[in-house]
């Protein structure tokens, strides 16, 4: 059984490394050196939200593989190993899906902002910076929009 943990621990660590960073100061490589529109705006409202994963397929896959490997060591004989692998894969896939969902869930803020030209936008981003209603900001509107304090 201890040997089976050697397979499960790397799978869990790989899932944890997959959690995206969604803060206003986080940029993906594809967003660097890309021009975005910037609009002066005012925060109208702020609310805390939960940001959940859209796709748990990696957790399901890794959990299924780890569960199948661990389950194949159960029992004695060919049939016991086969049924153990199948049951372990099913249970591992379910647990991997749930694990990735819980690791990928994070808090965020939804900001409703009104630009100086009168347009209203909603932007959801991480909790690295809390803005408040009435605060002057800049809406950076591009592939990955964000609201940042107006300096």
The total number of structural domains in the chain stands at: 2
- Token pair, residue 91, equals 């249970």
- Token pair, residue 40, equals 């002066």
Evaluate whether residue 28 is within a structural domain.
Answer: no
Verify that 89 and 120 share a domain, yes or no.
no
User: Is pTM beyond 0.85 here?
Assistant: no
Verify that 73 and 96 share a domain, yes or no.
yes
| Per-residue pLDDT of the chain in tens (151 residues, 90 and over written 9) | 455 545 555 555 554 555 566 566 666 666 676 778 999 999 999 999 887 766 556 556 666 666 666 666 676 666 666 666 666 667 666 666 666 555 667 789 999 999 999 999 999 998 888 999 999 999 998 878 899 998 7
Evaluate whether residue 29 is within a structural domain.
Answer: no
Last residue of some domain: 66, 83, 104?
104
89 three-state secondary structure: helix
Verify that 74 and 147 share a domain, yes or no.
no
Verify that 136 and 146 share a domain, yes or no.
yes
Structural domain boundaries enclosing 132: 35-52+106-151
């Amino acid at each position: 059984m201890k040997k089976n943990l050697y397979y499960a621990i790397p799978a869990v660590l790989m899932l944890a490394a997959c959690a995206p960073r969604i803060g206003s100061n986080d940029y993906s490589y594809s967003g660097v050196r890309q021009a975005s529109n910037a609009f002066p705006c005012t925060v109208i409202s702020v609310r805390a939200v939960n940001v959940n994963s859209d796709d748990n397929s990696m957790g399901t896959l890794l959990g299924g593989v780890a569960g199948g490997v661990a389950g194949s060591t159960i029992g004695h004989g060919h049939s016991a190993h086969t049924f153990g692998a199948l049951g372990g894969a099913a249970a591992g896939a379910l647990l991997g899906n749930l694990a990735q969902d819980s690791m990928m869930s994070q808090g965020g803020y939804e900001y409703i902002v009104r630009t100086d030209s009168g347009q209203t936008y909603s932007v959801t981003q991480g909790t690295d910076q809390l803005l408040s209603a009435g605060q002057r900001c800049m809406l950076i509107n591009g592939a990955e929009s964000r609201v940042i304090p107006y300096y």
